[in-house]
Structure 1
Amino acid sequence: MAELKALIFDWDGTLSDSVPRIVQAMHAAADLIGLPRCTDRAVMDIVGLGLPEAIAVLYPDITQALADTLRSAYSGCYIQLEETPSPLFPGVIDALEAFKGTGVKLAVATGKSRRGLQRVLAAHDLEGFFDSTRCADETASKPDPLMLRLILSEVGVEPAQAMMLGDSEFDLRMALAAAVRPVAVSYGAQPREHLLRWKPERCIDDFEEFHGWVMPQLRGQPVTEA
């Protein structure tokens, strides 16, 4: 197996416990403009897509004008809910700092907008922390692999030397399409049984587990099964 030189993270549901607010904001936006609410599960299943793509999945029959209105309403509702930013999952900061200390490249590949990502990075004092970040409004939405290819080009790492950690099938499909090692987390938007259909290298139940599993690989030690 190639030396691991880059760790790429999804944001919502992987680093940040923000999925409940995404669901809440989508429901509030639908109420605001008079659309029927989707189920919680339906909204959770689109986490990871860019917002236009997510709305197209949730409301495939609405006009483009109404989709644009929903998009604006959702953004406003989410920003209001995020006046106090969603917390990072336990162990995330300690793990990221430990990873950075090994010299591995760290990146974020997210369905958030650039403005949204910059807002949460600033709120968590992580501006400038990552070596590369890409957002859905500046490249193709997941599961298109373009986002990962741009990150890998920027940090100078080959696909086989990179790992993508995410909580949705879109993260895993993107990683597979880019020939990047896919790793799933079961604590975010989509359940373990759904994620396992995409055959991730491993499915992680909490971030501290990921920390313990990946650190030996960053030190050049062989991977061992739990």
Structure 2
Amino acid sequence: MSSSDLTIACQGLKFNKIAAIIFDKDGTLENSLPFWREVAIQRARLIDAQIPGVGEPLLMAFGIQDNAIDTAGLMAVGSRQENEIAAAAYIAETGRSWHEARKIARQAFDEISQSKYLIKNPESAPLFPEVIETLQSFKSEGLKLGILSADSTQGVEEFVTNHKLQDYIQLSMGVDGKLLKPDPQLYIQACQALKVAPEQTLMVGDSWGDIQMAKAAKAAGTIAVIRHQGSVSLPGDVTIFSLSEIQILSDSN
């Protein structure tokens, strides 16, 4: 059986003729929300030190409330570019010019990303427990595996390297230009890089943007992952709580 003939089953639903699975990264493969919560807090504190009073509204904009991160909020699902623009908008409301607001936000974001006290690595943002075994199983059956994240491509590549996933992941793709999730062109580009048609792929993600992007690109199916208590429901074809729920059916099935 070739990879393009594989049938994937999940929660009683079957997806036929699947050649590839494309994953989101943060919240799907990597338990990174606690790390990003801390990043958001430090960004807001740094900007508030320059512009007193803006810190609290910034935290709310980032999706941080009562020291918890909203799994559907800007920090959890948005790109750095989207978060930076949101921060600049709040800064501009204090009377700064848009140019100055963008500069202040960018410098604060850069300073936090370069901090030696806040480093994203396998300790601060570990893989979810079942990820390695699941990827091994998929790769052994001939599935092509890719990552399409709202992070930068460099961030995705560092994630793959840090977690030693090079043997499993054939595409490490982030958001570097004007295209942002849920633009279906991102998904189409990922499929082109993997040399598969969207209709031969499944999207596995934990955000509305992941699901809507794949649906608009005519993916064979969408699998929504719920990792955290209180997460909002997503319009995936099926919802799971662990990647181990995704099964490849053999000929006998």
TM-score range, shorter chain: 0.7 to 0.9
Find the counterpart in structure 1 of residue 32 from structure 2: 18
Q: Which ranges of 4 or more aligned residues in structure 1 deviate by more than 6 Å?
A: none
**Which of residues 214, 222, 225 is equivalent to 1:185?**
225
Q: Is 2:135–2:168's contact at 8 Å kept on the other side of the alignment?
A: no
Give the superposition deviation at 1:49: 2.4
Q: Quick one: which of 60, 66, 91 aligns to 2:104? A: 66
Amino acid paired to 1:126 = L
Structure 2 partner of 1:53: 82
Structure with max Cα Rg: 2
Alignment CA distance shift 1:42-1:66 (3 Å): farther
Deviates more, 1:143-152 or 1:63-72: 63-72
Counterpart residue type for residue 45 of structure 1? G
Q: Structure 1 residue 128: deviation in Å?
A: 5.2
* Residues 123/28 of structure 1: CA separation in 2 closer, same or farther (3 Å cut): same
SS of equivalent to 1:133: strand
- Number of residue pairs matched? 213
Q: Which amino acid aligns with 1:72?
A: D
Distance 2:215 2:30 in 1: 23
TM-superposition CA deviations, 1:169-204 (whole Å, max 9, x none): 1111111121112211111598143x1xxx211011
Q: Which runs of 5+ in 1 are unaligned?
A: none
User: How far 1:57 sits from its partner (Å)?
Assistant: 4.2
Q: Classify the secondary structure of the residue corresponding to 1:215.
A: strand
Q: Please name the residue that 2:135 is paired with.
A: 96
SS state of the match for residue 77, structure 2? coil
TM-score (norm 1): 0.83
Q: Whose helix fraction is larger, Structure 1's or Structure 2's?
A: 1
Q: Which residue of 2 aligns with 1:3?
A: 17
Which residue does 1:202 correspond to in 2? 238
- 1:64 is aligned with what amino acid? R
Distance 1:78 1:157 in 2: 40
Deviations 1:146-177 (A, max 9, x none): 22111111222111111111111111111112
**Distance (Å, rounded) in 1 between the aligned partners of 2:144 and 2:231:** 28
- Whether contact under 8 Å (2:72, 2:207) holds in the other structure is no
Decide which of 102, 105, 109 is 2:144's aligned counterpart.
105
TM score, norm. by length of structure 2: 0.75
Once the two structures are TM-superposed, the CA of residue 75 in structure 1 deviates from its matched residue by 2.2
Where 2:145 maps in the other structure, the secondary structure is strand
Secondary structure class of the residue paired with 1:165: strand
Are 1:25 and 1:78, in contact at CA under 8 Å, matched by a contact in 2? no
Q: Distance in 2 between matches of 1:66 and 1:221?
A: 61
- Partners of 1:91 and 1:78 lie apart in 2 by 29
Counterpart in 2 of 1:126?
A: 165
Q: Return the structure number with greater strand share.
A: 2
